[in-house]
Chain A
Amino acid sequence: MLAYYLSFYVNCEDKVILRSVTIHNHMTMKILVCITNVPDTTAKIAFTDNDTKLNKNGIQYIIGPYDDYALARGVEIREQSGGTLTVLHVGGAEADPQIRKALAIGADDAIRVNAEPLDSYFTALQIAHIAKQNNYDLILMGRESIDYNSGVVHGLVGEMLGIPSYSPVMKLDLDGNNATITREIDGGNEILKVSLPLVLGCQEPIAEWKIPNMRGIMTARTKPLNVVESVGSEVLTTPEKYTLPAPKGACKMIPASEAETLIRLLQTEAKVL
């Protein structure tokens, strides 16, 4: 494991040095984008093994939609200011196609921590561990994963690294080491200025989703995807059983000519007015 890290380190440093020569005097930004590997948004969810595991049959996997926003903005920044963009995923080899897709979209290299992302704390620990070794200036994540919808990994990682975290972020501009962020707050938004390093949970309209082009797909094949083992084994939560929501009762149809009765039904029958 150590050997892996070392070789990766050297790789990274090499690149940083090379780039800093080509982009005269610009700060070389090191960006990390953390991606999840999740069922497609239209996937029908079902369980197996006594409702303890997701039934992966027929499910198509994608990069989490919010992670896709983070990646898109990361690629834009990397294109503007140079530096490196690494994608990171905590999970098994089944995510490799999605990781390659991220490389095709514009990441320079990838790291996969080869371990089941057991819970948010464990996942955050892995991300923080990688981050500590590589001193990223900017760690971009999605606002939430769409399988566990927790919206907590960025905060966990931020605190583990002792750096600020913000989410959901809708706009990110950089001027050297200074970031200007627009983030959503309840019922509005807030613009703030803060210096790097930062952890951000992204959402639209921070950037438009990017689709890999042919050249990207070709080069992605040869970009490094480093597989490393996990650290720590503490698991603070374990899933016990999954359930599906109770089926919805039939929809009560009201003829358009009697639309007004809806209001009465909402008051007397559904009791929501």
Chain B
Amino acid sequence: MSVLIYIELENGSIKKTSLETIAYGAKVAEKTGGKAIVLAIGSADASELEKAGRYGAAKVLHATDQKLEHENSMAYADILVQAVQQENSKVVILAKSGLGDAMAARAAARLKAAVVSGVTQLPETDGVFTVTRSVFSGKAFAKTQIHSEIKILVVKKNVIEMDENAVATENAEIVPFSPAFREDDFKATVVQVEKANTELSLTEADIIVSGGRGMKGPENWQPLVDLARALGAATGCSKPVSDLDWRPHHEHIGQTGIKVAPNLYIACGISGAIQHLAGVNGSKCIVVINKDPEAPFFKAADYGIVGDIFEILPRLTEAAKKLK
């Protein structure tokens, strides 16, 4: 028996959310009395993959192949299934992302396994295997029993404290993994990949500075970008802002956009409509800057400033620069 953890690689490095997933998986392995085994797909150096050991992984299965160059959830899910079978894994862990959900779903159909997405806590493993997950766009949690033999959990960001010291360090053994491929999984041709390389991705970012209609127009975004830069933050926006093309669509946060869970979310000129809150309610700390003291966002905030963003943003940027 073992716990299998799928990790995502980006430019040869393990994504931060995936390190968290390893720590989570290692804890589950500890609770269920098995080993934590990691599956990595794509190119990465052994020295990078060995990091998995620091978060409690005993072994890393590493699959690389020319064919796997592009993110392909179908082929990746097939590899995951083969790894689960080889390692006799009963619990499979992935980080919540488009890829994580897709792989989990396709693998679940093959393994006849329950798939639970949006898990927010460690499972209860005495008695019936029970997990807690986020439902109704973060407005509630559901404690859910899992009855299938194999259980697939897709875990949200910031679920456990990511402390290298909290788990027993293992010397992760790196083992090449050569899966068989299904031709059907390679029907698509990738025409173009656009990746904003210089910018931090919203789902990975620890800090997000986000702007709403209160920013008045795309030409006013520089002060917000400056603060984001000073804090090493990613930038986001509300739905009307991306609808108006003031900012790119992939920055749109909320119920119908991206759901984020950073340590710090700074909302500038966003009123705090419930649909926006649905995308940010996983954040650890929320700061709201709005000239209207009645703005609903203050009710969901930890810190608030009532004032004009254009006056306040540059001052925050100056203060943030002095931090370093």
Q: Is A61 an interface residue (CB 8 A)?
A: no
Q: Mark contacts of A231-256 with chain B using CB atoms, 8 A cut-off: 1 yes-contact digit, 0 otherwise.
A: 00001111111111100110111111
Would you call A272 and B285 a contact (CB within 8 A)?
Answer: yes
Instruction: Please report which residues of chain B, range 278-324, place their CB below 8 angstroms from some CB of chain A when the two chains form the complex.
Output: 278, 281, 284-285, 287-288, 298-308, 311-312, 315-316, 318-320, 323
Bitwise, B224-261 to A at CB < 8 A (1) or not (0) is: 00000001000000000000000001100001100100
- Contact present for B196 and A251 (CB under 8 Å): no
Give the chain B neighbours of A255 by CB distance below 8 A.
305
- The reply on A212 being an interface residue by CB < 8 A is no
Complex: how many Å from CA A112 to CA B142?
Answer: 26
Is A256 a contact of B144 with CB atoms below 8 Å? no
* B255→A147 contact, CB < 8 A: no
Across the interface, do B193 and A190 meet the contact criterion of CB distance under 8 Å? yes
When C-beta atoms are compared, the residue in chain A nearest to B315 turns out to be A259
Complex: A152 Cα to B153 Cα, angstroms: 12
- Contacts A149-B118, A153-B105 given; does A256 touch B141 at CB 8 Å: no
| A192: Cβ under 8 A from any B Cβ | yes
Q: Is the interface of A mostly helix, strand, loop or mixed?
A: mixed
**Contact partner of A240 among B114, B143, B274, CB < 8 A?**
B143
Interface stretch, picked from A14-22, A92-100, A163-171, is A163-171
Q: Which residues of A lie under 8 Å from residue B103 when comparing CB positions? A: 155
Interface size on A, residues (CB 8 A): 79
Q: Among the listed B193, B255, B302, which residue makes an inter-chain contact with A249, where contact means beta carbons less than 8 Å apart?
A: B302
CB pair A243–B140 under 8 Å, yes or no, is: yes
Write the nearest CB–CB distance from A170 to chain B, whole angstroms.
7
CA distance A148 to B136 in the complex (A): 6
- Segment at the interface with B among A39-47, A75-83, A130-138: A39-47
A185 proximal to B (CB < 8 A): yes
Select one of B97, B101, B184 contacting A152, CB under 8 A: B101
A183 to B250, CA, bound (A): 11
- Please provide the chain A residues from 17 to 52 with a CB less than 8 Å away from any CB of chain B in the complex: 39, 41-42, 45, 47
* Chain A residue contacts of B185, Cβ below 8 A: 164
Task: List, in ascending order, chain A residues with CB within 8 A of B139's CB.
Answer: 45, 244-245
| Majority secondary structure, B binding face | mixed
Stretch of A103-111, A118-126, A216-224 that contacts chain B: A118-126
Contact A65 B256 (CB under 8 A): yes
A187 touches B102 (CB 8 A): no
B285 CB to nearest A CB, Å: 5
Residue pair B106, A156 in contact (C-beta under 8 Å)? yes
Contact B109 A156, beta carbon cutoff 8 Å: yes
| A47-B140, A156-B105, A190-B71 known; A260+B315 contact, CB < 8 A | yes
Min CB distance, A141 to chain B, in Å?
A: 11
The answer to the question of B180 belonging to the interface, with a C-beta cut-off of 8 Å to chain A, is no
Q: Which of B8, B193, B288, B303 has the most CB of A within 10 A?
A: B303
Q: Shortest beta-carbon distance, B140 to chain A, in Å?
A: 5
Contact indicator B305/A156 (Cβ below 8 Å): no
- Write the B99-135 contact mask toward A (1 if CB under 8 angstroms, else 0): 1011111101110111111100000000000101011
Question: Could you tell me which residues of chain A, from 140 to 164, have a CB within 8 Å of some CB in chain B?
Answer: 146-156, 158-160, 162, 164
A121 pairs with B303, CB closer than 8 A: no
| B99:A186 contact, CB within 8 angstroms | yes
User: Which B residues are CB-close (under 8 A) to A272?
Assistant: 206-207, 263-264, 284-285
Closest to B249 in A: A205
Residues of A with C-beta under 8 A to B193: 185, 188-191
A residues less than 8 Å from B204 (CB atoms): 186-187
Question: Please, how many angstroms separate the alpha-carbon atoms of A74 and B115 in the complex?
Answer: 28
A195 CB–B CB distance under 8 Å: yes
Do the beta carbons of A149 and B134 come within 8 Å of each other?
Answer: yes
B254 to chain A, nearest CB (A): 9
Min distance, Cβ A114 to any Cβ of chain B, angstroms: 23
Given contacts A150-B101, A167-B102, A238-B144, contact A270 B73 (CB under 8 A): no
Asked if A159 and B299 make an inter-chain contact with CB atoms under 8 angstroms apart, the answer reads no
- Whether A242 and B109, one on each chain, are in contact in the complex, defined by CB atoms closer than 8 angstroms, is no
Q: Which residue of A lies closest to B104 (CB)?
A: A152
Residues of B near A249 (CB, < 8 A) are 302
Contacts of B132 in A (CB 8 A): 243
| Residue numbers in A under 8 Å from B97 (CB-CB) | 186
Given pairs A149-B259, A152-B108, A251-B288, 9 additional interface contacts (CB within 8 A): A155-B73, A156-B106, A186-B10, A236-B114, A239-B145, A251-B298, A254-B304, A256-B308, A266-B264
Q: Can you list 7 A-B pairs, Cβ within 8 angstroms, ordered by A?
A: A166-B102, A193-B191, A237-B144, A240-B144, A253-B304, A256-B308, A259-B305
Please list the residues of chain B having a beta carbon within 8 angstroms of any beta carbon in chain A. 8, 10, 70-71, 73-74, 77, 97-99, 101-106, 108-110, 112-118, 130, 132, 134-148, 154, 184-185, 187-197, 199-204, 206-207, 231, 249-250, 255-256, 259, 263-264, 274-275, 278, 281, 284-285, 287-288, 298-308, 311-312, 315-316, 318-320, 323
In the complex, the 4 A-B pairs of residues with the closest C-beta atoms, listed nearest first: A155-B105, A256-B307, A187-B201, A236-B114
